Amino acid sequence: MQAATRNSKAGTGLLEVLIAVCVITIGVGGVFGVCSQMNHMLSLSREETRSVEAAQHVLEIVKTYSWIRLGLMEGVSDFDISENRAFSDISNAACTVEVEPVAGETERLRRVTVFVTWEGESGTMVSRRLISLVARKRRLK
């Protein structure tokens, strides 16, 4: 009788070890899955941040233009980003600028919209836009 009891207890230890290894493997696999997903989300947010920074850079450039030059730019036009370092980290980026007068304020305000498009991590084209109002500067008399 003692021999049968001793064998059944010895087998239980091996079964417990196998179950523990399975549980640990599933837990570690879950952690790696979460880390992989977090890494993907981090790269997407980096892309988004770079594109918004690049669009803000273009808005700042356009805000330095004279009122007359802004008037000549009315409508949608491509913005040359070939020499722009803000776009250097964004793959296949393009930028367009739309300038339009604000209704009721045509002599004082213009709405400037910057559209930035780039190729996302998944290979699809992604776009973002930023809008700003530019006021006419009054000359001192």
User: How do residues 115-124 score in pLDDT, each as one tens digit?
Assistant: 988 887 778 8
The ranges assigned to domains in the chain are 2-135
Answer for the pair 78, 96: CB distance below 8 angstroms, yes or no.
Answer: yes
pLDDT band at 25 (very low <50, low <70, confident <90, very high): very high
Answer for the pair 133, 108: CB distance below 8 angstroms, yes or no.
Answer: no
Into which CATH architecture does domain 2-135 fall? 2-Layer Sandwich (3.30)
What is the average pLDDT across 1-18? 66
Structure tokens at 15: 């079964």
